[in-house]
Structure 1
Amino acid sequence: MIRLYVAADLAQDVALTLDHGQSHYLTSVMRRGVGDEVLVFNGRDGEWRAQIEVAGKRGVILRPRALERPQVFGPDLDLVVALVKRGRVETIVEKAAELGARRVRLVITERTNAERTRIDRLAAIAAEAAEQTGRLDAPEIFEPVKLARLIEAWEAPRRLLFCDEAGDARPVLQALAGAEPAPWSILIGPEGGFSPSERETLRNLNYATPASLGPRILRADTAAISALTLWQAAQGDWRGLEVS
């Protein structure tokens, strides 16, 4: 069954008009027509089975018929990652969606080697990954901010898993062992690593838990995937716990 992430509210028998891209995908790529069914979700109203009511040159209109799954959310987990080159940041966003991150926050550090990115494209990549994985929401993608600004605006009780490449922190699973349930963020640095002053600042945060991703130096995308995987195994929904 095709799944589509939409922005509109969803309710039984309330017509839903798809945008041009989704209309083209359904009719021209997937060859669906009037009477066919798809699943739609928006991250708020659960997942609905909808029927194609109109499929024409002006677009596709769906009619939600039945609620298939009520809305649920994964763990309250943010991925905070230094802005890197386009291909790698796109991979990071895709895999963050697949691995259950609720938000992706981009930061600019002293050694960041990229200056800009297209948030609209990253949001589309996150939505496509959400459609494929079966999750009922899509990660929110935030505009890049400086690391210092992110720290200044930090809100308790969110914890921070600081992936420290210096090599003297405990392994992730050891660092997370026994941690109390809480909202978490995972911080991944740029390809050149954090500067000494940034590392000192992060180490002194009372809500930060430094952790090592092993003896090898990882690229940002590999580090993000590894950290998300380990956090889900230690604290997240890979343990089979229900979340809301």
Structure 2
Amino acid sequence: MNGLSRLPRLYVDPTLVPTAQKGAPCLLTPEQARYLGTVLRKKVGEQVRVFHAGMGEWLASIAEIRKDRGGLVLERPLRAPQPCPPLPLAFALLKRDATDLVLRMGTELGVSEFLPLVTERTNTHRINPERLHAIAVEAAEQCERLDIPTIAQVQTLPALLGNWPHQTSLFAAIERLDKRENTLHLPTRQVQEGDGLLIGPEGGLSDNECQTLLKRPFVVPVSLGSLVLRADTAVVAGLALLGNGLRSAPVSSQ
């Protein structure tokens, strides 16, 4: 993309782009108009990049820019639609800054759906969906992905396990896995698209929760090493582990 990579990159709501074709209008939100006009001091005629999952990424030029409103005109496509493969992340809610970090890093590492959980050792039970969505959008704009991950409602661990699709695996990071009984003969599985990752809270999952997980046939326990990781660090380590498995998995023939 050469010099185009330096252009501002904005996620646009599909409802604000009637059709993805040359010359089509694209409305800006008031926040985007203020960002382009006031923060970046962009003028009419200057170019930006816009994207959403359905249209891919397009080069656009500013047709109108005012203090709290503006519009673009689509010029040409840069990348065809290419959503990330399904990769759900179930994670116990953390303190605000740590949860924000999980959303940001998870978006950059290809999470398709965030599944916030309440576990026995969870200290918070609420989220601000709009705020977390804004963090995911900002991270997607920065990391060049074309889609925005979804954020589910907060649920309990038993609810997650009860609703988990049994045709896919849930890789659960369990501390001190090698010291637990009945884990030596658990099957290992190759990571496939649609498999998910489960990360517990600060302090780890309780023994009761670990035993419940180990009894589920679709749960695959994984170790993230001998050191005790922060929960947000464990998210990065686990996603890197699953991502490497997805990239190294053989492509099935159609």
Within-5 A mapping of 1:102-181: 102-168=112-178, 179=190, 181=192
Quickly say closer, same or farther: Cα 1:106–1:214, change in 2 above 3 A.
Answer: same
> For residue 6 of structure 1, what is the aligned residue in structure 2?
12
> For residue 233 of structure 1, what is the aligned residue in structure 2?
244
Quickly say closer, same or farther: Cα 1:193–1:28, change in 2 above 3 A.
Answer: same
Structure number with larger C-alpha Rg: 2
1:129-186 alpha-carbon deviations (Å, 9 max, x no partner): 111111111211122111111111112322111000133289xxxx997616341110
Q: Equivalent residue of 1:181, what SS?
A: coil
Q: Kindly provide the amino acid, as one letter, of the partner of residue 128 in structure 2.
A: R
1:105-136 alpha-carbon deviations (Å, 9 max, x no partner): 10111111112121111111111111111111
> For residue 60 of structure 1, what is the aligned residue in structure 2?
70
1:192 aligned to 173, 180, 203, which one? 203
> For residue 82 of structure 2, what is the aligned residue in structure 1?
72
Higher relative contact order (CA 8 A, sep 6+): 1
Q: Equivalent residue of 1:143, what SS?
A: coil
Quickly say closer, same or farther: Cα 1:100–1:109, change in 2 above 3 A.
Answer: same
Q: Equivalent residue of 1:35, what SS?
A: coil
Residue 38 (structure 2) pairs with residue 28 (structure 1): yes
1:180-229 alpha-carbon deviations (Å, 9 max, x no partner): 63411100001121122211111111111101111111111000011111
In 1, the alpha carbon distance for the partners of 2:202 and 2:68 equals: 46
In 2, the alpha carbon distance for the partners of 1:186 and 1:49 equals: 35
Quickly say closer, same or farther: Cα 1:177–1:36, change in 2 above 3 A.
Answer: farther
> For residue 217 of structure 1, what is the aligned residue in structure 2?
228
User: Considering only aligned residues, what root-mean-square deviation do their CA atoms show, in Å?
Assistant: 2.3
> For residue 183 of structure 2, what is the aligned residue in structure 1?
none
Q: Kindly provide the amino acid, as one letter, of the partner of residue 24 in structure 2.
A: V
In 1, the alpha carbon distance for the partners of 2:127 and 2:232 equals: 16
Contact 2:224 2:238 in 1 (8 A): yes
In 2, the alpha carbon distance for the partners of 1:91 and 1:101 equals: 13
How many residue pairs get matched? Answer: 237
> For residue 41 of structure 1, what is the aligned residue in structure 2?
51
Contact 1:163 1:210 in 2 (8 A): yes
Q: Kindly provide the amino acid, as one letter, of the partner of residue 158 in structure 2.
A: A
In 1, the alpha carbon distance for the partners of 2:81 and 2:203 equals: 40
Contact 1:8 1:16 in 2 (8 A): no
Note the residue ranges of structure 1 that are not aligned, 5 or more in a row.
none
